Amino acid sequence: MSRFLYLVRHGEQRDAEFGLPDGPLSPRGVRQARAIAERLGGVPFDAAFTSPLQRAQETAKIMTERLPSLEAEPSALLMDCIPAGPSPDMPHSFESFFGGVTPEEIDAGEAQMSDAFSEWMTPSRDDRHELLITHNFVIAAFVAHAFGAAPWRWMGVNQANCGLTIIRVRSAKPPVLLTHNDLGHLPAELRTGLPVDQPY
């Protein structure tokens, strides 16, 4: 039996460029959320979970309004976090990122992700479809975990606002990355949040 995880980064946050830690969606973020809801309209979701942050909860509300009989449950396991700290095999070019990160933040992020993997990256008895609305680093950590990559490998893996990543978790077989950061439902002007523009 398969467990399908639909990982969606929240829509664009209003005024995020001014360094605000959280806030409502921008008008573009609202359109992104509507587009991903339409894209996923045919999925027989069994459950939905969202980061408790406002930009994620607003995305979840817009999505679940369009996905009948689905309510998103806030989960602290989907909070924005630093999923793992550096290790000796990490390329030096990533080291500067950790200059502004405390050991406490790393410990908290590692504990959060360990619990998140126990919660969702485990096989289910029946086929199951679950929607997880969360943050860029968290989705990157799920992808790295699916490949059994080094814990630091969440770095350099990025998802656009309301991009779609799907992981299939199976018993007795490794997880499968079915799609990563699929932007097919987003016109070029709604493709935001990536370090490099992706208009194609």
Terminal Cα distance for the chain, rounded? 35
Identify residues 134-173 at the interface with ligand 3PG (CB under 6 A): 135-137
Considering Cα of 3, then 85, then 107, then 53, what sign does the dihedral take?
A: negative
Minimum gap (Å) between residue 13 Cβ and ligand 3PG = 7
Pick 80 or 130: Cβ nearer ligand 3PG:
80
Residues 154, 141: contact at Cβ < 8 Å?
Answer: yes
Residues 142, 165: contact at Cβ < 8 Å?
Answer: yes
Minimum gap (Å) between residue 16 Cβ and ligand 3PG = 7
Minimum gap (Å) between residue 70 Cβ and ligand 3PG = 21
Cross-strand partners of 9: 134
Specify the stretch interacting with ligand 3PG by CB under 6 A; choose among 63-71, 100-108, 119-127, 130-138.
Answer: 130-138
DSSP 24-83: PBPHHHHHHHHHHHHHTTT---SEEEE-SSHHHHHHHHHHHHTSTT--EEE-GGGS----
Specify the stretch interacting with ligand 3PG by CB under 6 A; choose among 94-102, 129-137, 141-149, 180-188.
Answer: 129-137
Using CB positions, name the residue nearest to ligand 3PG.
136
Minimum gap (Å) between residue 170 Cβ and ligand 3PG = 27
Three-state DSSP class for residue 5? strand
Identify residues 54-93 at the interface with ligand 3PG (CB under 6 A): 80
181 binds ligand 3PG (CB under 6 A): no
Cα 104 → chain centroid: 22
Pick 9 or 39: Cβ nearer ligand 3PG:
9
DSSP 115-157: HHHHHHSS--SS-EEEEEEE-HHHHHHHHHHHTT--GGGGTT-
Size of the site for ligand 3PG (CB under 6 A): 6
Identify residues 8-27 at the interface with ligand 3PG (CB under 6 A): 9-10
Minimum gap (Å) between residue 161 Cβ and ligand 3PG = 7
Site residues for ligand 3PG per CB under 6 A? 9-10, 80, 135-137
